Structure 1
């Protein structure tokens, strides 16, 4: 690197370049004039001959190069040039220079990518401007000698545009051989001139060449470094000449949005805005205008550009005005564009992850905190406070430091020291592990909440720890309470297991394959039933195994091995000898399970069954005389059963007679009214007859006769009606009595049967506030047994009269004017050949505990008050037996009951007459 005193500015470099060009030009011109004058005759012939060969060779090189370079790319072009130089000894060098003055490919690989020298640029400028198609010059190059350089334009690409200049340097060594003898003539002169030129050149180099070389080296280094940086950040570059509105882009700029540079032609300063997202264009324009006006030091935007395939690419543009005129107007504006889609996507992913994390924290009621040790600031999420029933508004979150305000002051006095010290130790330590601690914090109600605090110090991009520690607070009060409850339950279970009589609980570890026996737990009951201490058995499990009799030790080993193999529960009874010499029996029940570490354990219980074994022995001894005792007892039970059945039959018959007696009493009471009326009218009629006879003896008048005839007719009609009523009652009673006392089968109307029953029960109902409502349809006929069915209905109605309304007073009148307490009869066809008969009431209902026993024999709630408990039992037997149906009851306490009879319209045939 040149010293500061030698570091030249661009204008100084231009002055030196002109001076050196002039000096070397004069020197070369002088030398050439002398050489040309001395060898002009000889050179004329040699030049003509070599010009022909040079034209042919140049044509071949150009044809080959121009056919490949345009499409093959830089790498292939460089390979081609190297190959041509190797194949042709006369070619000194080949260079491809693009329109920007950069050497694309050179036979000297170190020149690839370097800018062309100013001399070369001046030489090829007419070619680039297309004012001429070929340029030839002659150069003297160290190690190469005299070189004739030919420059030609070359075209390429899909539209055959100008791509640059091809420079081919051809060594004139062959000419030198031809001119060797002629040059001897001028050797002395050339040597003299060369000596003078060397001296002059050395002196000039001391003044001009050294700074120039240093500046060129520095420029080359800076250009290489800049190109490396641009290539490393993989960005595109752009340059805007505002005076000519020329906008220059590189291939990477176009590649970012999916184009090739030639596809974007024509390129103007408006091209970036045309490709920008409509929402971003105003922002880009505003920032560009502000920078061009000098309001901002640098132009910088992050915007979206439309990709070739239609999607949007996030790009970052950064640039600045590099040259302004005297009035401050921008002349040159340069910058770079970088694809930041990946960064934007990462930012979006980070935002989503952050939102997901915050949502998860809210859903799980997890408080999040971040401690900045440098700023001494503790940031807390809303859930940090809400889990305590507090609000962030109650705390000064902007004060510094606030660790005391938002954390330490809320700690339980008993936990404050250990919690703050633990956090301080973590911050002062290596921080490689996770910070974790539990403590209590005060909630809004003044109570204490158990908190599990976890955190970790964050690292920067280089893996170094930062000043920030991020963590969470989780409410584990329920977990702590559950653990405390578990510990209490475990302690309670231990006390229970230790105090269980005649048994012991245990857990034994059998290893991973059943190879060991080691007790993990033993209840204190082992000391009572085995006469050994828990401590000794925990240390040596063989103490218990050796107590078993030898024949049982092998049985236990086999059982445990099979249990481990099949992982099934086993139970076994064994006999053991105690330390005091007594023999005891034990039942061992155990079930295996495999732990997460692979070990197999048995959880089991050992029960002392010595007393049971003794009782079993006594039972075996008693069984020897059991047969005689069983035979004797069976005879006694058979006699008792016969007596019971006879008594039950008598009770059932008495129940039937009692039911019939109730009918007789009702009919007698019902007959008393019409017969009494008839007797009373007959007595009155007899008295009227005596009075009429007296009137005849004293003198009968027409009026007296008419009155007597009228009274006789009226009395006769009343007597006739009452006697017909009595006859009807007698007929009904006769039919009902016949049905009740026999199982005669016949066809009958269900309505007629219910009418007769209602008539028979009317006297009993009239004494109460209960109304019997008969809603049975007229057209329902059965081929069945009216006697049993009538008995069933009478039993159900009487049951309702006795039990349904006990303690219930009528609360008004029904629509028909009757009492509100009702017993209803209704029937309907439910399916082909079947009918349903309901006997319901609106009484007090039946309690659930009585519902299960209501049809049991001898069950009654009136025991000792005249109830036999057989009425509903008889009803059940009649319905399910001779009538061939089924019966069930539904009841709601306080709302009444309903007996549902499902009966066939044609009763099944009787195999034998019922008793």
Structure 2
């Protein structure tokens, strides 16, 4: 088969030449040459057009890369041969200050020398490299870039320059550093606060525990997921008396989907066999849209020492109550509001028969119960005394009346102030039934009145007679006559003193006050006995 040219016209022309005259063949050959030239010119025009399109496309790529990235080109020795505006902006150097300078002008000292080992190997082998670098700007500030370094290779395979395409990741690094610092602070707080952290995923039913969580149970286990296998579940370690209650509280918290704080107290088994008191708190987490998730984050705090301290306080309080319950009157510890209302912190009832009718717990919850038994005429007095004590803390001492079983009883209250560690004034005092004392004082006052009334006449008589004796120049018979007149007066006074002493003895036996001044009465009485 004859050879066929690339163009269909070539094939046709070749066939025709075999059957044409030389002139015709020459004409056809000329036509063929013209066609070939036209095709060559067309091909040339198309090539030029394609090259123009490619050049424009490359310019577009370069423009897009230039405005979106931080670009630099450096020679094989590492000196800058090109930097774009973004590079100058982030480094705060001008174009003139960077060109010809080595990369070391940006070194921050943040990375150790071995950090650049892999980069050096890649550059020697003519391979691209990607890494993150902390650079130092002209003003001394630090910035981070995510860098892709691409080597340019000539026809002989030798690297003649490097292009560095960078992306500013300073904010990302700062955010990561803040997160790292926050995590470090969180871990430090957990470590020093005797608190263990845990996280529960309701969807997967898996729990993450911190190392501190295990440590407070005597287990040397690092942070991680603790499978709910036999003997390892937190439920299995609960005290039998706390298990049902604790699990119900936690299940209720999960099922209700509450945003409130979960809180529970229970005992867990320590590895040494002791029971550790745990204060558990948790809260459901929210997603970025504010919706409640099935992730619960919580803490366990060992409060065993606090529980022991509280038990000791309770024991001390019970001992104080036992002691104070054997003394007459009530013992108090209270604070006073600006309004004058007392807030009872401690109250105990003594051995007295007549006392407040309200229960001690009721009075502790509501100090207004104290005022319920106050005599109407003394309620204002009581409130005013409390207000005065609030304004000027000093010894408080006053008497007031209460009505118990339709009987009016007198009470005496005394209290001293003392500031606690918070600077608040706390009052310590007691009240006691002084009805017997009030009655006794009233009796004494009545006795004194009776004495003064009864003794007025005989005393007056005696004064008159003794005046005559002392001032008159009397004979013996006159003196004897006056003496006979004084004797009935003395006998009358002696009788009165005897009766007075008997009345006092009766009063003393009835009342609880055992103040004995009968000897003084007897002594006074002896003054009026006739001398033998």
TM-score class, shorter: 0.5 to 0.7
Q: 1:586: which partner in 2?
A: 411
SS in 2 for 1:528: coil
- 1:300 Cα deviation after fit: 2.0
The alpha-carbon distance between structure 1 residues 554 and 383, as it changes in their structure 2 partners (threshold 3 A), is closer
- The question of whether the paired residues in 1 share the 8 Å contact of 2:329 and 2:352 is answered with no
Q: 1:573: which partner in 2?
A: 399
Root-mean-square deviation (CA, aligned residues, Å) is: 5.6
The alpha-carbon distance between structure 1 residues 603 and 373, as it changes in their structure 2 partners (threshold 3 A), is same
1:299 counterpart (120, 129, 136): 129
Q: 2:118: which partner in 1?
A: 286
Q: 2:88: which partner in 1?
A: 254
SS in 2 for 1:411: coil
- 1:260 Cα deviation after fit: 1.6
Q: 1:313: which partner in 2?
A: 142
- 1:587 Cα deviation after fit: 1.3
- The question of whether the paired residues in 1 share the 8 Å contact of 2:337 and 2:390 is answered with no
Distance 2:425 2:112 in 1: 69
- 1:305 Cα deviation after fit: 3.3
SS in 2 for 1:286: helix
- The question of whether the paired residues in 2 share the 8 Å contact of 1:504 and 1:606 is answered with yes
The alpha-carbon distance between structure 1 residues 322 and 554, as it changes in their structure 2 partners (threshold 3 A), is closer
- The question of whether the paired residues in 1 share the 8 Å contact of 2:149 and 2:165 is answered with no
- 1:256 Cα deviation after fit: 3.2
Aligned residues: 407
- The question of whether the paired residues in 2 share the 8 Å contact of 1:459 and 1:466 is answered with yes
1:439 counterpart (260, 266, 275): 266
SS in 2 for 1:290: helix
Distance 1:464 1:273 in 2: 50
2:107 counterpart (267, 270, 276): 276
Distance 2:176 2:50 in 1: 57
1:642-670 CA distances to partner (integer Å, 9 max, x unpaired)?
A: xxxxxxxxxxxxxxxxxxxxxxxxxxxxx
1:808-850 CA distances to partner (integer Å, 9 max, x unpaired)?
A: xxxxxxxxxxxxxxxxxxxxxxxxxxxxxxxxxxxxxxxxxxx
Greater gyration radius = 1
The alpha-carbon distance between structure 1 residues 573 and 457, as it changes in their structure 2 partners (threshold 3 A), is closer
The alpha-carbon distance between structure 1 residues 521 and 246, as it changes in their structure 2 partners (threshold 3 A), is closer
Matched, 1:411 2:238: yes
- The question of whether the paired residues in 1 share the 8 Å contact of 2:82 and 2:99 is answered with no
The alpha-carbon distance between structure 1 residues 338 and 530, as it changes in their structure 2 partners (threshold 3 A), is same
2:99 counterpart (265, 269, 279): 265
The alpha-carbon distance between structure 1 residues 622 and 246, as it changes in their structure 2 partners (threshold 3 A), is closer
The alpha-carbon distance between structure 1 residues 392 and 576, as it changes in their structure 2 partners (threshold 3 A), is closer
Distance 2:47 2:255 in 1: 65
SS in 1 for 2:236: helix
- The question of whether the paired residues in 2 share the 8 Å contact of 1:369 and 1:470 is answered with yes
Q: 1:897: which partner in 2?
A: none
SS in 1 for 2:373: helix
Distance 1:530 1:282 in 2: 87
Matched, 1:365 2:194: yes
- 1:444 Cα deviation after fit: 2.0
2:354 counterpart (529, 545, 548): 529
Give 1:597-676 correspondences, 5 Å limit. 604-612=429-437, 617=444, 622=518, 625=521
SS in 2 for 1:479: helix
Distance 1:19 1:600 in 2: 97
Distance 1:274 1:517 in 2: 75
The alpha-carbon distance between structure 1 residues 572 and 306, as it changes in their structure 2 partners (threshold 3 A), is closer
- The question of whether the paired residues in 2 share the 8 Å contact of 1:456 and 1:469 is answered with yes
- 1:284 Cα deviation after fit: 3.8
Q: 2:375: which partner in 1?
A: 546
SS in 2 for 1:454: strand
- 1:442 Cα deviation after fit: 0.7
SS in 1 for 2:146: strand
2:216 counterpart (346, 363, 387): 387
- 1:570 Cα deviation after fit: 1.0
Matched, 1:453 2:280: yes
- The question of whether the paired residues in 1 share the 8 Å contact of 2:152 and 2:163 is answered with no
- The question of whether the paired residues in 1 share the 8 Å contact of 2:208 and 2:225 is answered with no
SS in 2 for 1:405: coil
1:780-815 CA distances to partner (integer Å, 9 max, x unpaired)?
A: xxxxxxxxxxxxxxxxxxxxxxxxxxxxxxxxxxxx
Report which structure shows greater RCO (CA 8 Å, sep ≥6): 2
Distance 2:305 2:369 in 1: 40
- The question of whether the paired residues in 1 share the 8 Å contact of 2:398 and 2:413 is answered with yes
- 1:545 Cα deviation after fit: 2.0
Could you list the runs of 5+ residues in structure 1 that have no partner in the other structure? 1-13, 22-117, 123-214, 632-915
Q: TM-score, normalised by structure 1?
A: 0.36
- The question of whether the paired residues in 2 share the 8 Å contact of 1:316 and 1:337 is answered with yes
Distance 1:563 1:284 in 2: 77
- 1:440 Cα deviation after fit: 1.4
Distance 1:392 1:18 in 2: 73
1:272-326 CA distances to partner (integer Å, 9 max, x unpaired)?
A: 256436755654463365388586xx632223434435x5735323226498789
Give 1:58-97 correspondences, 5 Å limit. none
1:396-450 CA distances to partner (integer Å, 9 max, x unpaired)?
A: x677566972533322234344445544555566574444332211112212111
Q: 1:98: which partner in 2?
A: none
- The question of whether the paired residues in 1 share the 8 Å contact of 2:207 and 2:225 is answered with no
Give 1:14-33 correspondences, 5 Å limit. none
SS in 2 for 1:407: coil
2:303 counterpart (462, 476, 485): 476
- The question of whether the paired residues in 1 share the 8 Å contact of 2:242 and 2:266 is answered with yes
SS in 1 for 2:374: helix
SS in 2 for 1:383: helix
Distance 1:540 1:431 in 2: 38
- The question of whether the paired residues in 2 share the 8 Å contact of 1:306 and 1:312 is answered with yes
Distance 1:625 1:414 in 2: 71
